């Protein structure tokens, strides 16, 4: 196979190197094209542009493959746990027993946040969206740990910032929720595992004992694993690009949370429940809504169905469906919204329109259902996604730094007015 590609323009020919990845993915390297020819490439939304070489996550949407550091998502979801997967993503290898114990111990030790953060939290009105609160609290860590601002920090200091992020995000997330409902915050319980501690901080009420159900903790842990990384998506690219200016890791992750917030990215799971609620309000006729989704004159789409990258199946959806069934069985929940979800899923999977277009339920369809069954309010769904995505963002930020990547700075094709003379306001 040739290791160069040729581009001809206006009678001139330019030779461009071709790069191959470890899974045989090919890319034409255009980094020097402008210098050679004065031409740039144009690709709005970066749909066909590789921004980096990365050794973290491999996905093949046609074959339904997702691997973290070479390990299949199915194996990790079944046999591993979120903290072990986080270690793998961040450090590149699975930990041995003592590395794993140290990692868990360090994260457990840093779950508490500075008391003054409660004052910042208290400044938010209860209507504040928890994603805005979460990103603000993460960014506030730059004030509590000003050392983190130094771009020349040692690996040891960087590691401390990483541990703090992993440890404190569940506390921030639970506190953002408590602020919303007007309840006193719960402090972390370091005797508990990562997910049970989070659930307790979310749901324990004063003067009541709370113990997280192990089935629920396990389902949540699995959900976090499934969301832990998805290569160069909108929020991950944001984290890398903000970090490329040598802004602190806290500022970079806070920016990632903001990028995740939108309904076209992390907000899709919220849209699923909103759609199910609308169907219920309308009398629960799933066939009517399926027909609406198929009607080309109707803009309605079945939320939680289809995926830009996965065209045969989303490997995460397969795993999460089982977790959703386990949680619903365990909790014995009688919720008309969940009944509608099941009916819709069955009807769509058996419908030729959806079969022909390879439209299957995606990870957001089931994650929304699980979060609802766990009693997590709809506007906290994207916060849950952020909790899961954190180790991926950290790993990508670290890789960007270790590779010494240049500051992210795309170019543009200018299409505005050409040079014109300024006229004073009285003459316009």
* Residues acting as catalytic residues: 307, 364
Distance CA 98, CA 205 (A): 36
CA dihedral of 329, 334, 340, 343, whole degrees rounded to 10: 40
CA 206 to chain centre: 32
Contact 249, 397 (CB under 8 A): yes
Q: State the nearest-atom distance from the C-beta of 359 to ligand ACO, in Å.
A: 5
Nearer to ligand ACO by C-beta: 45 or 406?
A: 45
In this complex, which beta carbon is closest to ligand ACO, that of residue 258 or of residue 362? 362
Q: State the minimum distance, in angstroms, from the CB of residue 37 to ligand ACO.
A: 32
Cβ proximity to ligand ACO, 188 vs 391, nearer residue: 391
Q: What is the dihedral of CA 238, 240, 243, 249, to 10 degrees?
A: 90
Q: Which is nearer to ligand ACO, 9 or 300 (CB)?
A: 300
Taking the complex as a whole, the smallest distance from the CB of residue 63 to ligand ACO amounts, in Å, to: 16
Least separation in angstroms between CB 340 and ligand ACO: 16
Interface ranges with ligand ACO (CB under 6 A): 268, 293, 301-308, 357, 359, 362-364
Residue nearest to ligand ACO (CB): 306
Which of residues 250 and 289 has its CB atom nearest to ligand ACO in the complex?
289
Q: By C-beta, is 84 or 229 nearer to ligand ACO?
A: 229
Nearest to 239 by CA among 223, 257, 225, 226: 257
Report the alpha-carbon distance of residue 158 to residue 397 in Å, rounded: 11
Q: How many CA atoms lie within 13 A of 43 on its CB side?
A: 10
Tell the smallest beta-carbon distance from residue 305 to ligand ACO (Å). Answer: 4
- The least CB distance from residue 176 to ligand ACO, in Å, is 21
């Amino acid at each position: 196979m040739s290791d160069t590609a040729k581009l001809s323009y206006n009678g001139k020919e330019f030779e461009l190197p071709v790069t191959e990845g470890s899974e045989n993915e090919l890319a034409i390297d255009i980094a020097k094209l402008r210098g050679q020819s004065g031409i740039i490439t144009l690709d709005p939304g970066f749909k066909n542009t590789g921004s980096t070489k990365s050794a973290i996550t491999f996905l093949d949407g046609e074959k339904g493959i997702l691997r973290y550091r070479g390990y299949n998502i199915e194996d990790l979801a079944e046999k591993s746990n979120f903290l072990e997967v986080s270690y793998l993503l961040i450090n590149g290898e699975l930990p041995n027993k003592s590395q794993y114990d140290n990692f868990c111990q360090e994260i457990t030790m840093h779950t508490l946040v500075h008391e003054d953060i409660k004052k910042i939290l208290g400044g938010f009105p209860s209507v504040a969206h928890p994603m805005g609160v979460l990103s603000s609290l993460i960014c506030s860590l730059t004030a509590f740990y000003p050392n983190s601002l130094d771009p020349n920090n040692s690996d040891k200091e960087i590691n401390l910032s990483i541990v703090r992020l992993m440890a404190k995000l569940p506390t921030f997330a639970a506190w953002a929720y408590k602020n919303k409902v007007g309840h006193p915050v719960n402090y972390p319980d370091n005797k508990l595992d990562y997910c049970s501690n989070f659930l307790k901080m979310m749901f324990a009420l004063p003067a009541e004992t709370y113990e997280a159900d192990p089935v629920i903790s396990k389902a949540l842990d699995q959900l976090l694993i499934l969301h832990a990384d998805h290569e160069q998506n909108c929020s991950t690219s944001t984290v890398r690009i903000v970090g490329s200016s040598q802004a602190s890791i806290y500022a970079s992750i806070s920016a990632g949370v903001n990028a995740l917030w939108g309904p076209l990215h992390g907000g899709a799971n919220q849209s699923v429940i909103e759609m199910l609620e609308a169907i219920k309000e309308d009398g629960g006729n799933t066939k009517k809504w399926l027909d609406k989704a198929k009607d080309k004159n109707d803009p309605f789409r079945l939320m939680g169905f289809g995926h830009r990258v996965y065209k045969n199946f989303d490997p995460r959806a397969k795993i999460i469906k089982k977790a959703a069934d386990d949680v619903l069985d365990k909790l014995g929940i009688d919720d008309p919204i969940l009944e509608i979800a099941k009916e819709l899923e069955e009807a769509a999977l058996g419908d030729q329109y959806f079969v022909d277009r390879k439209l299957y339920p995606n990870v957001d369809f089931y994650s929304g259902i699980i979060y609802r069954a766990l009693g997590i309010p709809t506007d906290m769904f994207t916060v849950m996604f952020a909790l899961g995505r954190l180790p991926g963002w950290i790993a990508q930020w670290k890789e960007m730094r270790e590779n010494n990547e240049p500051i992210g700075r795309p170019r543009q094709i200018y299409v505005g007015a050409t040079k014109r003379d300024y006229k004073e306001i009285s003459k316009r």
